[in-house]
């Protein structure tokens, strides 16, 4: 997880490189006041998170599901009633606006006629740097996320398995009174690499359901060389980002940090960006962009869909879109090396493969299991 914050340009590559390939130890760092790292009073006063008392059942989701099996189950699922699907619907313009012109209300002679509702002018989705195909305002027409979905990757270096990376969508939560997605990313070393450096990191990401922008993330780092708890709040009302961190390392002992900076509207953080990019259509040859704010900097993440291909995975052949990410900082293009991301060529846009060329060799993270989950 360390690398993802330090090297925002590489997004997912750094998370694995720095976590798995640095330091030299065989067990988690011992710290008698470990529980105190999680207590950040200012954050607790500013944020109220309410989650379901019990996790949603995902009986239909099975481990190592092949794409064809997933599609078959989803197509065979019975249609939900309007009551059940209320939360998943995209708000459409009111039909009253359209009908008002066709059938004006009748009034008695001499009485005043109420003005018909003015036609709503269509405006481009905000912010303008983002593509609006497949969206109705800020909401996607088809929501790619399913509660209970879990995509598991095997992370390898020089074709040797090094760790496991998981992407999850958990039951909906409420953050400061607003309905929110809850996503999770977790990474841990396998036993072979744990003898060199032990990692068990995770981050919970909360995104506002209506605006699809992040509000909070909570990072939990448990490694051989450090223990760390970090929290971030994106205050869209006051347009301010605040980051809190408590950590202890073998070299420097206890440290605390608080940072604050101005936030650009509709910006993602480095973790929510991983899920947010799944909402776009990714047409071949087309470039997509959105804002990302991290470490006192406001960036523009962009990606270009360069080709389609059939990816050979442990789950069998999977249709994929190959995307190449880039970063723009302060108006200047910042190359981030030869990194590629494979997204499933369907409505979910699961992350199927990540390939990052580093100084020595290539780091690969590829799907080994998919649990499809259920619509929220």
pLDDT tens readout for residues 148-175:
999 999 999 888 888 899 999 999 999 9
The rounded distance, in Å, linking the Cα atoms of 268 and 205 is 11
Contact between 20 and 12 (Cβ < 8 Å): no
> Where does the pLDDT of residue 375 fall: very low under 50, low under 70, confident under 90, or very high at 90 and above?
confident
Q: Average pLDDT of 184-212? A: 87
User: Is 38 or 14 the better-scoring residue by pLDDT?
Assistant: 38
User: Is 362 or 51 the better-scoring residue by pLDDT?
Assistant: 51
Residue 357 has a pLDDT of: 83
Residue 249 has a pLDDT of: 82
Residue 4 has a pLDDT of: 37
Asked whether the predicted pLDDT for residue 203 surpasses 60, the reply is yes
Asked whether the predicted pLDDT for residue 277 surpasses 80, the reply is yes
The rounded distance, in Å, linking the Cα atoms of 328 and 189 is 32
> Where does the pLDDT of residue 59 fall: very low under 50, low under 70, confident under 90, or very high at 90 and above?
very low
How many residues are recorded in the chain?
A: 376
How would you write the chain as a 3-class SS string?
CHHHHHCHHHCCHHHHHHHHCCCCCCCCCCCCCHHHHHCCHHHHHHCCEECCCCCCCCCCCCCCCCHHHHHHHHHHCCCCCCCCCHHHCCCCCCHHHHHHHHCCCCCCCCCCCCCCCCCCCCCCCCCCCCCCCCEECCEECCCCCCECCEEEEEEEECCEEEEEEEEEEEEEEEECCEEEEEEEEEEEECHHHHCCCCEEEEEEEEEECCCCCEEEEEEEEEECCEEEEEEEEEECCCCEEEEEEEEEECCCEEEEEEEEEECCCCCECCCHHHHHHHHCCCCCCCEEEEEEEECCEEEEEEEEEEEEEEEEECCEEEEEEEEEEEEEECCEEECCCCEEEEEECCCCCCEEEEEEECCCCEEEEEEEEEECCECC
User: Is 138 or 104 the better-scoring residue by pLDDT?
Assistant: 138
> What percent of the chain clears pLDDT 70, i.e. is strictly above it?
68
Biggest CA pair distance of the chain: 90
Asked whether the predicted pLDDT for residue 6 surpasses 50, the reply is no
Asked whether the predicted pLDDT for residue 22 surpasses 50, the reply is no
Residue 83 has a pLDDT of: 40
- Distances in Å between the alpha carbon of 62 and those of 200, 271, 372, 373? 24, 26, 8, 9
Residue 343 has a pLDDT of: 98
Q: Average pLDDT of 118-124? A: 51
Please write the tens of the pLDDT for every residue from 283-319: 999 999 999 999 999 999 999 999 999 999 999 999 9
Residue 168 has a pLDDT of: 98
Asked whether the predicted pLDDT for residue 211 surpasses 60, the reply is yes
Return the closest-CA partner of residue 351 out of 317, 326, 318.
318
User: Is 53 or 356 the better-scoring residue by pLDDT?
Assistant: 356
> What percent of the chain clears pLDDT 90, i.e. is strictly above it?
53
- Distances in Å between the alpha carbon of 300 and those of 1, 116, 168, 175, 289? 21, 42, 25, 26, 7
Which residue ranges make up each domain of the chain? 2-69+129-371
Q: Average pLDDT of 111-136? A: 69
Residue 8 has a pLDDT of: 35
* pLDDT mean across residues, the chain: 78
Cα 40 from chain centroid (whole Å) = 24
Choose the weakest-confidence range: 8-12, 54-58, 196-200, 358-362. 8-12
User: Is 226 or 146 the better-scoring residue by pLDDT?
Assistant: 146
Please write the tens of the pLDDT for every residue from 310-358: 999 999 999 999 999 988 766 666 656 678 999 999 999 999 999 988 7
Q: Tell me which range, 59-73, 157-171, 191-205, 321-335, is most confidently predicted by mean pLDDT.
A: 157-171
Q: Average pLDDT of 51-72? A: 49
């Amino acid at each position: 997880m360390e690398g993802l914050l330090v090297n925002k340009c590489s997004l997912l590559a750094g998370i694995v490189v720095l976590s798995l390939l640095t330091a030299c130890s065989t067990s988690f760092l011992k710290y008698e006041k470990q529980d105190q790292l999680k207590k950040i009073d200012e954050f607790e006063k500013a944020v109220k998170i309410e989650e379901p008392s019990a996790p949603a059942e995902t009986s239909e989701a099975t481990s190592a599901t092949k794409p064809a099996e997933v599609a078959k189950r989803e197509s065979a699922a019975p249609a939900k009633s309007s009551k059940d699907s209320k939360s998943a619907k995209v708000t459409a313009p009111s039909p009253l606006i359209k009908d008002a012109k066709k059938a004006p209300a009748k009034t008695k002679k001499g009485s005043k006629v109420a003005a018909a509702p003015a036609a709503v002018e269509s405006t481009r989705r905000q912010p303008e740097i983002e593509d609006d195909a497949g969206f109705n305002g800020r909401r996607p027409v088809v929501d790619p996320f399913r509660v209970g979905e879990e995509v598991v990757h095997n992370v390898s270096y020089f074709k040797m398995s090094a760790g496991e990376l998981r992407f999850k969508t958990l039951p909906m939560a409420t953050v400061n009174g607003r309905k929110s997605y809850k996503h999770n990313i977790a990474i841990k070393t396998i036993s072979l690499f744990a003898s060199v450096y032990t990692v068990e990191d995770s981050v919970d990401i909360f995104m506002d359901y209506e605006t699809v922008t992040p509000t909070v993330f909570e990072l939990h780092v448990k490694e051989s060389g450090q223990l760390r708890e970090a929290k971030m709040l994106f205050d869209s009302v006051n347009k301010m980002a605040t980051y809190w961190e408590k950590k202890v390392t073998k070299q420097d002992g206890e440290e605390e940090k608080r940072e604050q900076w101005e936030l650009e509207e509709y910006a993602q953080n480095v973790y929510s960006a991983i899920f947010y990019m799944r909402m776009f259509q990714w047409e071949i040859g087309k470039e997509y962009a959105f804002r990302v704010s991290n470490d006192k900097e406001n960036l523009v993440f962009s990606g270009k869909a360069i080709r389609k291909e059939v990816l050979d995975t442990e789950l069998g052949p999977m249709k994929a879109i190959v995307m190449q990410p880039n970063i723009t900082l302060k108006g200047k293009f910042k190359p981030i090396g030869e990194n590629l991301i494979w997204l499933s060529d369907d409505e979910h846009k699961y992350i199927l493969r990540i390939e990052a060329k580093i100084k020595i060799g290539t780091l690969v993270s590829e799907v080994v299991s998919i649990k499809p989950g259920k619509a929220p």
